A and B are shown apart, each in its own frame.
Chain A
Amino acid sequence: MPTLIVDGRTVQAREGAFLLEAARQAGVAIPTLCEHPAVEPYGGCRLCVVDITRASWDGWQKMVVSCLYPVEDGLVVSTRTPRVVETRRVVLDLLLARCPETPLIQGLAREHGIEKTTFAPNEGKTDCILCALCTRICDVIGASAIAAVDRGIGREIAPPFREPPDRCIGCLACAEVCPTGHIKYETSDRRRVIWDKEFEMLRCPNCGRAHITKLQAAHFEKKSGVPASYYEPCDACKRATVVASANALKIPRPGQTPRQNPGQV
């Protein structure tokens, strides 16, 4: 088990872990934006930067992102050197210029001592910080309906050709995982709308309630072989079925005649 030092605390890290995990193990908090346990690390926001060094490096330090740098035996990690703190502040300052009205960024920036951006605020104000969590979770779901398109400052998250995405199954994972609430959707028992695409909901044949779309059921049918119709009944009606099965056993209550078949639970 690799042993390393994070902010002076010794940590025995899991083999194959990244510095971020080791830091958390040591009780050291490092800010992140594009990190999420359900997806692989991305290294895009650059907020989780730390300085690393080794005894043999003679004081020379290297700045790396802790979400992607693997733990190594003998590594010495400093999560709050002046240049690390300053780099984080500049990153947040830049994000605040991009998203001046986004509460998450305003809050994070304030925590780092920035009330207003020192840069020119974005004219087309957006809530999207391009953390790409949405596209990454969409890949995990298996739909891969959206991606980061275009290069440089024109980069944005969009479906192919910026049209309602063919492959979207309406699972809402992208919207749920988005840290700033940038992705909007509507949902009801009847229909769901996200990325300008309308979805038919998979409604309970009994009561009409719905939680997932027909495409979600079809997607899982393809993956598992379980027919989509299996997913139709809503949770309440499924519970009613369970109750009906229990009742069919004709379990006598206290004060009633004993069971006809002892031994049967």
Chain B
Amino acid sequence: MDRIYRVVVERCIACGKCELACAFAHGSQGRPSRTRINIARQGPEAGVPVVCLQCDDAGCVQVCPTKALVRNEATGAIDVVRERCVLCRMCIAGCPFGNMLWDDTYHLVQKCDLCGGDPKCVPFCPTKALDYVPADTAGLRPEPAGTGR
């Protein structure tokens, strides 16, 4: 995997565009789905994005009885293999960070899978709090203000 999803918390202005983009990207027939990214509003123009961290040794992968949660080597994300998921919801309980979600609209478990390598939230984020950057740059400390670096 050559890119990694990066969250710079201090840049988040809690505009909520990422949530909308995510919900509509995964909905169908005009119905929005449950958003996989959740912004915790902390005050005016201050938010904390909470989204799946695509953990190395993921709790969700461990609890799944049918191996329906699988690392996608190309994107780096952990994908839900829909055909094998039997909706036992153990993963929702198993994720320590609360990033596995129950989507009542479509009666499914949902998680961020980086949209298969083209995360829809990224282009909508005005401050680049959310970005999909080359993996070798991810370790560099980003500037607090959204300078694009």
Contacts and interface: CB of A to CB of B under 8 A. Distances in A.
Is A–B contact present in the complex under a CB 8 A cutoff?
A: yes
Nearest to B81: A37
B66 to A, nearest CB: 4
B11 interface: yes
Contact of A243 (B40, B144, B145): B40
A152 interface: no
B131 to A, nearest CB: 15
B84 interface: yes
Interface in A177-211: 177, 202, 211
Contacts of A212: 88-90, 92-93
Contacts, number: 107
B126 interface: no
Contacts of A236: 98
B98 A238 contact: yes
B86 A239 contact: no
Given A141-B88, A231-B94, A235-B100, A37 B10 contact: no
A251 B146 CA distance: 15
Contacts of B101: 235
B62 A38 contact: no
A224 B48 CA distance: 32
Contacts of A173: 65, 86-88
B97 A239 contact: yes
Interface in B26-68: 38, 40, 42, 45-46, 48, 50, 62-63, 65-66, 68
A246 B11 contact: no
A263 B139 CA distance: 11
A252 B90 contact: no
Contact of A252 (B42, B86, B88, B144): B144
B28 to A, nearest CB: 19
A217 interface: yes
Nearest to A239: B98
A211 B102 contact: yes
A235 B92 CA distance: 7
Chain A contact residues, majority secondary structure:
helix
A235 B100 CA distance: 7
Contacts of A238: 95-98
27 contacts: A36-B83, A38-B66, A171-B89, A173-B65, A176-B88, A211-B102, A217-B93, A224-B63, A234-B98, A235-B92, A235-B98, A236-B98, A239-B38, A239-B99, A240-B40, A242-B50, A242-B97, A243-B50, A246-B48, A247-B42, A251-B9, A253-B10, A253-B144, A254-B11, A258-B144, A263-B141, A265-B141
Interface of B: 9-11, 38, 40, 42, 45-46, 48, 50, 62-63, 65-66, 68, 81, 83-90, 92-102, 141, 144-146
Interface of A: 36-38, 137, 140-142, 171-173, 176-177, 202, 211-212, 216-217, 220, 224, 230-231, 233-243, 246-247, 251-254, 258, 263, 265
Given A220-B94, A235-B100, A247-B42, 15 more contacts: A37-B81, A38-B85, A171-B88, A173-B86, A176-B86, A176-B88, A230-B96, A236-B98, A239-B40, A240-B40, A240-B98, A242-B97, A247-B48, A254-B146, A265-B141
